């Protein structure tokens, strides 16, 4: 993250284009673009978003361990942002690293306690850990925060 190779407008454009490439299954092209965007990033927030998309692209390539490493970088770059911790929790759950996933989900919820999606992530992790009573609490909190999303609950 040097911020010297481009302007914020370039970073936003490259990030949007990378998201489009990821959505189209063109993960390798997205990774190359995200590298350029990261080098041009001028803030921790931008860098965290870019690294988060890098994790998505790597996951799309079947590189779960590399995706987790990228998400860990995102959480380290922006430790006070809930999004990278939530993303890391999802990837750690995919890797069946439930204790680590729960710790990240808990961190994300400490930062953004009124986020229904984060409560849903925590509930999914708790269900995977066979902790149904606690999972039900997470589901109930998610529904209370966003009743219209009930079909998405764990």
Mean of the per-residue pLDDT values of the chain:
91
25 versus 150: which is more confidently predicted? 25
**What are the structural domains of the chain?**
1-74 (1.25.40), 80-154 (1.25.40.10)
Over the stretch 52-85, which tens digit does the pLDDT of each residue have? Answer: 999 999 999 999 999 999 999 999 999 999 999 9
* Average pLDDT, integer, range 31-53: 91
Q: Contact 47/78 with Cβ under 8 angstroms?
A: yes
Q: What is the pTM of this model?
A: 0.85
- C-alpha 79/C-alpha 70 separation (Å) is 14
Q: Residue 7: pLDDT above 70?
A: no
User: In the block, which residue shows the tokens 């978003």?
Assistant: 49
């Amino acid at each position: 993250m040097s911020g010297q190779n481009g302007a914020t407008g370039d970073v936003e454009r490259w990030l949007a284009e990378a998201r489009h490439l990821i959505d189209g299954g063109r993960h390798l092209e997205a990774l190359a673009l995200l590298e350029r965007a990261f080098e041009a990033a001028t803030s921790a927030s931008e860098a965290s978003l870019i690294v988060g998309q890098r994790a998505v692209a790597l996951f799309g390539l079947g590189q779960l361990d590399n995706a987790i490493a990228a998400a860990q970088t995102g959480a380290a770059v922006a430790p006070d942002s809930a999004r990278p911790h939530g993303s890391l929790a999802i990837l750690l759950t995919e890797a069946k690293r439930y204790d680590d996933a729960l710790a990240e989900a808990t961190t994300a919820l400490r930062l953004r306690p009124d986020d229904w999606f984060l409560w849903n992530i925590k509930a999914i992790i708790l269900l995977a850990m066979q902790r149904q009573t606690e999972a039900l609490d997470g589901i109930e909190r998610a529904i209370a925060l966003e009743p219209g999303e009930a079909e998405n609950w764990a």
